[in-house]
Amino acid sequence: MSESKKTLGEMISIACGDKFKEIDAANGSLLDFSRECHFAVQHITKSKFILDTAKKDQTSLKNAIVNVAAVGLSLNPVNHYAYLVPRDGSICLDISYRGLIKLATDTGSIKWAKAVLVYQTDTFIYKGPAEKPQHDADVFSSDRGEVIGGYCIAKTSDEDYLIETMSLADIHEVRATSKAYASGKNCPWKTFFDEMAKKTLIKRSSKTWPQNSKTERLNGAIDILNQHEGLKKELIEYDSCSHSSEQKQQLHGYMQENDGLGIYCLSRSVGENIYTSLYHSFERGTKGKNQALMDSLCEKGRLQFFEYVDEFNSFSESGSHDDALGLFEELTSDQLSLIAGDLNPQASVWITSLRPADIA
């Protein structure tokens, strides 16, 4: 292993090794951190662009690797289950339709599932949601026409079949919610349409599959995909991720005080799902105005947050204890803890040693 890869692996281990192992243990010890760390380095060093993105946004890299433990899918490139990819200046965990099927079969609620695209020259007869459709096609033909839709067929542990269909218009409607696609930039919907269409079919179908105590990992994986594929917030379902009344009061307090840092730290501490629930919690007639204010303050807070990160990193290098302690007085203990998690490893240890009681 080259020196740069070794250093990257050590950084990953320091940044999220303990959290990864804690989450993996709760899932039943499905993964080996040292192996996943090795696979992560392979993904990140595929190109200079991915490596530079990871270096610029180390928090997103840490979050993506922790998400690997949360969903329990290996980054092993041989399996093609999950990948670390750059998206909008961050590193994200991407999960293939094969990975989603693996999670679903691991739960025991289904025995197998397959997503299939239907083309113009095919014969397709739908026979209802619980009976296998008739699909006749010359799969060896080089000219089956354009895609007109698709379906997912799954077999449950009770030997029943569950069928979900989507027309091409349905698939395009989902594609249209992708901010990356809408931006006109190169994105998976443009380069890997078939794969994305199949993933869409699996995600739609999973809503009808039997639920049990083990389906949390599958649901979590779909939440991660919805967040990182750029789906518009208002089109994502968060039925089990509602905010509390205390969180709503906290948000309103920050907005009344124009406290952008408070809002940004709130978004980091509660997670994407609950923050999105808060984002849509305003009464009709005030929603647009309040959401615009919330967005503006959160962006202002994000910039302020990373100014603190840069200052603490700088003070750590120069050994400026008094300057660092001065910043402590400007921040709450929760804010300090979040900032400490984004510092380089040496700076994080340094500021924690200054006043450990202030940093959880």
pLDDT for 359: 56
Task: Please give the average pLDDT of every successive group of 10 residues along the chain, which has 360 residues.
Answer: 65 87 89 93 88 90 92 92 88 91 89 96 94 95 95 91 94 87 79 92 89 79 76 38 77 94 89 72 78 91 92 89 87 87 84 67
Question: Do residues 196 and 298 both lie within one domain?
Answer: no
Question: Do residues 225 and 163 both lie within one domain?
Answer: yes
pTM, two decimals, is 0.58
Q: Which of 19, 90, 27 is nearest to 60 (CA)?
A: 90
Which residues of the chain form beta strands (DSSP E)?
82-87, 90-95, 110-119, 123-125, 134-136, 147-156, 161-167
β pairing state of 82-87 and 134-136: unpaired
pLDDT for 236: 35
Question: Do residues 256 and 299 both lie within one domain?
Answer: yes
- Residue 103 in any domain: the answer is no
- Residue 321 in any domain: the answer is yes
Question: Do residues 271 and 352 both lie within one domain?
Answer: yes
Q: Whole domain around residue 112: which residue ranges?
A: 108-235
Of the chain, the end-to-end C-alpha distance in Å amounts to: 35
End-of-domain residue from the set 71, 95, 119: 95
Question: Distance from CA of residue 234 to its chain's centroid?
Answer: 16
Q: How many domains does the chain have?
A: 3
Question: Do residues 128 and 225 both lie within one domain?
Answer: yes
Q: Which of 49, 40, 51 is nearest to 12 (CA)?
A: 40
pLDDT for 125: 97
